[in-house]
Structure 1
Amino acid sequence: MIKRDQGRYRRLLLGIAVAPAVLALAACGGGGEQQKGKGGAGGRGGAGGPAQVGYVVVQPTSVPMTTELAGRVVAFQSSEVRPQVSGVIQRRFFTEGSIVKKGQPLYQIDPSLYRASANEAQASVANAQANAEAARIRADRYRPLAEIEAISKQDYTDAVATQRQAQAQIALNKAQLDTARINLRFTTVPAPITGRIGRSLFTVGALVSATQTDPLTTIQQLDPIFVDIQQSSAELLALRRALASGGAVPARADVRLMLEDGSDYGLVGSVEFAEVVVDQSTGTVTLRARFPNPRGLLLPGMFVRAQFSQSIDQNAFLVPQQAVSRDPKGNATVWLVGPGNKAVERTVTAERAQGVYWVVTDGLKNGDKIITQGTGTLKANAPIRPVPANTPQKVAPPPSKDGKAGQGGDTTGRGQGGQSKAG
């Protein structure tokens, strides 16, 4: 009897424990059906309304046609120091890698033979002068004798000719003396230009000659310095046609450099000239730019990237980069606010970028409204709600389980576009 009552009591407790769980499941099922009946929140624009997009109004402006080309650094002046006479190097007067001045002695070649040659030439001049004096006196004595016919006129003519030959010999010997003195001066090898001198390829005691192929050393002037820029002949031809058609005007060619490590050089140079011939092997024309180089940062042979403007396009449009996309063929396209606030896709010409903008040279007109925000889901001729770019846009939060809006209020999304007005 007691055991039977205990079994009934346990079954009663189990029923009480299971009942709340069954009621909870039923409530959940009813709430889900109710939520399903009401329906969730719609997409952007709410209840199928037109999508809100941000736009900018574009206007034609003057845009420098910036070009970036490869270049190589070249010394402003470079001179190979070579001997002009033969002999043995006795002394070296400079420190390798230092700055030398024009005319500064660099090497001393043994001058003994050249000093002796100068002395010999000096003696030859003195001998010629003595002979000329004797010939002059003889001719002077023969003149009155020839007048009274004491001697034949032929003897007097020969005496005058001998005198003139003696004078010519003096001039010849003086020229030889000058040559000997020049060679003697060449035994001291001077610096032909001012600049930084390199290593010496010949040491003291080395025999050098005026006909050797190797220089003694090299001097380079590095401040200022040149950068040779290579531009294709096709680009140069297009530039000249643009200038001739009046669509562009020449620009002052200030040049900026990007170094091999990607950093900006800092100092601005200018284009000096462009060659008038095209390299047959590369099809390029060389432009030479001049840069200050006070710190010696640019060294001959370095590769750099040169950025400069050769002309100014007076009828170009600056369009924010996020507004321009490419189709499968690579053509640039933009979305515009069309008549009746409908999205219109248009193909434009955008061949180069400038900062955060694409430079559009064809396909737009003054006053076009370019869509810069909300272009991800646009379709041609779809209705839109255009607002100026960067206008706050309300974004509805997802509904909660009870069908009401979530807590936390509205959020504000801001685009990245801006007014496309460049001066």
Structure 2
Amino acid sequence: MLKLTLGKLPLLLLVTFAISACSDQTQSDTRPVQDIHVDTMALSYNSLRLNTELPGRITAFNEAEVRPQITGIVQSRLYKEGSYVTAGDVLFQIDPTTYQSTVNSAQAELKKALANEQSTQKAYIRYQALMKKNLTSQELLDDAESNYLQAQAEVAIRQAELDYANIELSYTQIRAPIFGYAGFSQVSEGSLLTSGQSDYLTTIIQTNNVYIDMQQSSVSLYKLRQEFMNVRGTRPTIPVTITLEDGTLYQHTGKLEFADTQADGSTGSVTLRAIIPNPDNSLLAGMYVRASISMPEQRDYLVVPQSVVVRSQAGAPSVFVVDKDNKITKRSVELGNEVGNGWVVKTGLNVGDNVVINNLNKLQNNQIVVVDNQAEQSKQTITADAHSNSQD
């Protein structure tokens, strides 16, 4: 009997431990759920002058590619690469020998034609005088007149040939078509140039003003124009400022000059072009900048910190709001411009809403929470002229 009792002892101990564990688990499951504590922020209007910021690229205000108009050998380059040139300055000299010879020949032919014209004119005058005295026939007078007219035509032909020869001779001096800064020379002394060649000799760029080319959605462009028309009339001037790649704000302000007449069929975007002063030649063609288009006036907007916005798996934004009964409501919102560290809220929230600002990962819709701190919205991070990014 003793052996039997000792053999059952381990089994009894296991049962005892199992009952104890189940009792502990039951006590654990019945513990009350801890309350979630949150802080909130009461929304109020912020008076802001929003900016639409777009990526842009600098384009030369005017650019000319210099090409030869005749065939010849380059004798010399007469400008300093990178220097400022005015319209009409000689940049390259082509060997003028053959063209000067053509001019000399044309001048000789013109002199010959002029001499013939003078001779036929005198003959015609003599026949006119004889005809008045009936000392010659009408046929001889007509022949004299015809010879004189032909001589005049020959003079005109030779004059045109001389003019053309002088034009070609003038093309041996390749001149700057516009004022601006001349670039690198693509040819050197002794190079053969041909009339109508596709390769240019150098370029001249005008940079006292430059263009900024940007891309904007057609809908956003329409809204932008309406904003300015409502404030400034039918032909608004839209100011544009730029920020350089290192974050430096450029000192001069430009204006929106041109918008393309049609939108891109695949993206729905429109090319915008602004013009901005460049007196110091600090903006170079090809540079990338951030262009900022300011709204015409300050307006009241609701702004929430970026940290309070939660997004679904599809990227849809929403915000948790607490009502007067401390009940959580998840509100879908439509975001507008980015301002500082916040978002402008277009729809979904109202003035006075208490937005939850912490413990967001623990919250669920229709949940009751404990509000520890209820503060007014801080405006220290919001500035009236802050740069912003459009979400349209």
Q: TM-score, normalised by structure 1?
A: 0.69
Q: 1:344 Cα deviation (Å)? A: 3.4
Which of 163, 168, 171 aligns to 1:183? It is: 168
The answer for unaligned runs of 5 or more in structure 2 is: 1-32, 385-392
2:310 alignment partner in structure 1: 325
Q: 1:333 Cα deviation (Å)? A: 1.8
Query: Structure 1 residues 255 and 222, CA, compared in 2 at 3 Å: closer, same or farther?
Result: same
2:256 alignment partner in structure 1: 271
Query: Structure 1 residues 251 and 72, CA, compared in 2 at 3 Å: closer, same or farther?
Result: same
Q: 1:236 Cα deviation (Å)? A: 0.9
Question: Is residue 236 of structure 1 aligned with residue 218 of structure 2?
Answer: yes
Which of 190, 199, 215 aligns to 1:214? It is: 199
Cα distance in 2 for partners of 1:328, 1:152 equals: 110
Q: Any conservation in 2 of the 1:372–1:389 contact (CA below 8 Å)?
A: no
Query: Structure 1 residues 335 and 283, CA, compared in 2 at 3 Å: closer, same or farther?
Result: closer
Cα distance in 1 for partners of 2:266, 2:98 equals: 50
Query: Structure 1 residues 272 and 319, CA, compared in 2 at 3 Å: closer, same or farther?
Result: same
One-letter code aligned to 2:238:
R
Question: Is residue 76 of structure 1 aligned with residue 76 of structure 2?
Answer: no
1:358 alignment partner in structure 2: 343
Q: 1:276 Cα deviation (Å)? A: 1.2
Which of 360, 368, 372 aligns to 2:352? It is: 368
Q: Any conservation in 2 of the 1:65–1:311 contact (CA below 8 Å)?
A: no
Q: Any conservation in 2 of the 1:224–1:291 contact (CA below 8 Å)?
A: yes
Q: Any conservation in 1 of the 2:82–2:183 contact (CA below 8 Å)?
A: yes
Q: 1:254 Cα deviation (Å)? A: 0.9
Q: Any conservation in 2 of the 1:107–1:189 contact (CA below 8 Å)?
A: yes
* Per-residue deviation, residues 29-50 of structure 1 (Å, max 9, x unmatched): xxxxxxxxxxxxx98xxxx7x9
Question: Is residue 137 of structure 1 aligned with residue 119 of structure 2?
Answer: no
One-letter code aligned to 1:151:
T
2:6 alignment partner in structure 1: none
* Per-residue deviation, residues 323-377 of structure 1 (Å, max 9, x unmatched): 3222344222223343455443321111542212211111233x33232544535
1:55 alignment partner in structure 2: 41
Cα distance in 1 for partners of 2:165, 2:159 equals: 10
Cα distance in 1 for partners of 2:82, 2:298 equals: 47
Q: Within 5 A, what are the aligned runs for 1:112-127?
A: 112-127=97-112
Q: Any conservation in 2 of the 1:342–1:384 contact (CA below 8 Å)?
A: no
Q: Any conservation in 2 of the 1:227–1:289 contact (CA below 8 Å)?
A: yes
Q: Any conservation in 2 of the 1:67–1:310 contact (CA below 8 Å)?
A: no
Task: Report the 3-state secondary structure (helix = DSSP H, G, I; strand = E; otherwise coil) of the residue aligned with 2:45.
Answer: coil
Cα distance in 1 for partners of 2:70, 2:136 equals: 53
* Per-residue deviation, residues 279-323 of structure 1 (Å, max 9, x unmatched): 568764322222344554443333444343478896742223233
Cα distance in 2 for partners of 1:81, 1:246 equals: 41
Cα distance in 2 for partners of 1:251, 1:160 equals: 69
1:7 alignment partner in structure 2: none
Rg larger for: 1
Cα distance in 2 for partners of 1:132, 1:173 equals: 12
**Identity fraction in percent:** 34
Cα distance in 1 for partners of 2:224, 2:144 equals: 81
Task: Report the 3-state secondary structure (helix = DSSP H, G, I; strand = E; otherwise coil) of the residue aligned with 1:161.
Answer: helix
Q: Any conservation in 1 of the 2:49–2:295 contact (CA below 8 Å)?
A: no
Q: TM-score, normalised by structure 2?
A: 0.73
* Per-residue deviation, residues 187-232 of structure 1 (Å, max 9, x unmatched): 111222233322222211222222322222222233432232233x
Cα distance in 2 for partners of 1:239, 1:287 equals: 9
Cα distance in 2 for partners of 1:204, 1:247 equals: 58
2:21 alignment partner in structure 1: none
Task: Report the 3-state secondary structure (helix = DSSP H, G, I; strand = E; otherwise coil) of the residue aligned with 2:329.
Answer: strand
Larger RCO: 1 or 2 (CA < 8 Å, sep 6+) = 2
One-letter code aligned to 1:362:
T
2:242 alignment partner in structure 1: 256
* Per-residue deviation, residues 119-151 of structure 1 (Å, max 9, x unmatched): 222222222222222222222222243344432
Q: Aligned-residue CA RMSD in angstroms?
A: 3.7
Question: Is residue 102 of structure 1 aligned with residue 87 of structure 2?
Answer: yes
Cα distance in 2 for partners of 1:239, 1:81 equals: 37
Query: Structure 1 residues 298 and 65, CA, compared in 2 at 3 Å: closer, same or farther?
Result: closer
The alignment covers a number of residue pairs equal to 345
Q: Any conservation in 1 of the 2:43–2:302 contact (CA below 8 Å)?
A: no
Task: Report the 3-state secondary structure (helix = DSSP H, G, I; strand = E; otherwise coil) of the residue aligned with 2:250.
Answer: coil
Q: Any conservation in 2 of the 1:96–1:200 contact (CA below 8 Å)?
A: yes
Q: 1:246 Cα deviation (Å)? A: 11
Cα distance in 1 for partners of 2:164, 2:223 equals: 58
Which of 375, 378, 383 aligns to 1:389? It is: 375
Q: 1:51 Cα deviation (Å)? A: 4.9
Q: Any conservation in 2 of the 1:53–1:386 contact (CA below 8 Å)?
A: yes
One-letter code aligned to 1:59:
Y
Task: Report the 3-state secondary structure (helix = DSSP H, G, I; strand = E; otherwise coil) of the residue aligned with 2:333.
Answer: strand
Q: Within 5 A, what are the aligned runs for 1:300-339?
A: 300-309=285-294, 316-339=301-324
